[in-house]
Amino acid sequence: MEKTASGIIVVAMILLVASLAYATPKIQEKTVEYRAPGIVMKGYLAYDENIKGKRPGVLVVHEWWGLNDYARKRARMLAELGYVALAVDMYGEGREALNPTDAQKFSSEVMSNFDSAVARFSAARDFLVQQTVVDPERIAAMGYCFGGGLVLNMARQGIPLQGVTSFHGSLAPVKPSEPSKLKAKILVLNGAADNFIPPEQIEAFKKEMKAAGADYRFISYPDALHAFTNPDADIYAKKFNLHIGYNADADSKSWDELKKFLHGIFDK
């Protein structure tokens, strides 16, 4: 009897260990190439191999620094939550800016030719939905600073997305939005002390969203500066004399809002 009981305990322990091992995310991450008109884009794909079947996909658009480790980190965090994340390369060839001059140059090149920006974003979306682990009917986008403004503009143009989230991104439209095209749900996470986003821009955005009948939420975090989610913001601020800064409380709270937002649009 004792041997039988011991055997049962051993089997139970083995099953428990196996279940815990299975539950632990096993993140597959790799640099991927896809094409937009006239240029090769070098993105970063991350997902949990332990999850079986298709799951939602999320496009992550970088800050004006380009597709760097910060954007890749956020993609990995999404993969750990069970999504397939593609950190998007909007500059092409994986270019990164090492200073504000280059960052301004690269971002302006993209946004000054908005049709090209739409084509590059759409190429990334097409690549993501073609992945065998992705449910093509459940796609969202999120972005930081430059990327936050970009995903809002993609929603305004009617790119097929269930939802978009902007972290400390510009709110002004590049092209006048057509209300009939704006179908995605929208979450804006803003720093109340962000002087890159003036009050009149916030007011204009809210009026635009209401006029379009958009399903949106706007959350502003007290004392949070521009780039409040990026721990490297303090380094950039000191190095380049920029009015930006990391805010751990706003970072944590805004990430929680993102998780609730994605759960809401994908799991209802």
The SS3 call for residue 19 is helix
Q: pTM of the prediction?
A: 0.90
Instruction: pLDDT band for 110, please (50, 70, 90 cuts).
Output: very high
Residue 201 CB contacts under 8 Å (≥ 6 apart), including other chains: 170, 171, 172
pLDDT for residue 154 is more than 90 = yes
Instruction: pLDDT band for 25, please (50, 70, 90 cuts).
Output: confident
Instruction: pLDDT band for 207, please (50, 70, 90 cuts).
Output: very high
CB atoms inside a 10 Å sphere around CB 260: 11
The average pLDDT across 97-103 equals 97
Where does the chain have alpha helices with state H?
Answer: 2-23, 69-80, 100-112, 114-129, 146-156, 199-212, 233-240, 248-267
The average pLDDT across 245-254 equals 98
Report all structural domains of the chain as residue ranges with CATH numbers, in order of start. 29-267 (3.40.50.1820)
